[in-house]
Chains A and B, each alone.
Chain A
Amino acid sequence: DAGVTQSPTHLIKTRGQQVTLRCSPKSGHDTVSWYQQALGQGPQFIFQYYEEEERQRGNFPDRFSGHQFPNYSSELNVNALLLGDSALYLCASSLMSSGGQRIIPVGANVLTFGAGSRLTVL
């Protein structure tokens, strides 16, 4: 059973460039969340996608955008890169609904994390 897979694992960009990170959720999951983990810090929530829509968003600027595809995979896009965007970007998947019914309480759902994409901005 494949877990959460992310690509690329490492990448280097320069300031002002744009980057796209990709995530395939764990088989059977329908929700994808993205987190940014700066060096020495805990992960910070960027946003969450469910049914191809952004459902929740953390305190991140509009330079951060995303997309979820019909197969539940997701992309994270960051425009106009800044040095401060250097971090490990983690994708996490979970199951929001089953059999057409929303799983309650969703807050208790366990997130399965990928190994991350490490972005370095020079």
Chain B
Amino acid sequence: AQSVTQLGSHVSVSEGALVLLRCNYSSSVPPYLFWYVQYPNQGLQLLLKYTSAATLVKGINGFEAEFKKSETSFHLTKPSAHMSDAAEYFCAVSAKTYGNKLVFGAGTILRVKS
């Protein structure tokens, strides 16, 4: 069985500060890992994905995430927050098996203060 835990349902940062959103996963097989962003009244948009190539993955809008197998983590970071980054972020895991069912975490709402 797979599961995802996102630490912190709400994170608040100042504009220009580092963004760090935490994600830990549990998987019995090597996973694929994803970060999605959801803006109000919109669907989910892919930020980045890890598929067993480089452990440091770069995504859109300046976000990146590092896969750490020993820590079973896939934290999302951005060096400098922008007001437009305010949204809800979801970490998700899928298995290297038939079908691409995603198991999502509960989400982290990012607030950016001016």
Contact = CB atoms under 8 A, between A and B. Distances in A.
Interface residues of A, number: 30
Interface string A48-88: 10100001101000000000000000000000000000000
Interface residues of B, number: 28
A40 B6 CA distance: 13
A72 B95 CA distance: 24
A4 B42 CA distance: 12
B74 to A, nearest CB: 14
A48 B102 CA distance: 11
A60 to B, nearest CB: 12
Contact of A41 (B41, B51, B103, B107): B107
Contacts of B12: none
B106 interface: yes
A105 B32 CA distance: 10
Interface of A: 4, 31, 33, 35, 40-45, 48, 50, 55-56, 58, 90, 92, 94, 105-116
Complex A-B, nearest 6 residue pairs according to Cβ-Cβ distance, in ascending order: A42-B104, A113-B43, A108-B51, A113-B44, A107-B94, A56-B99
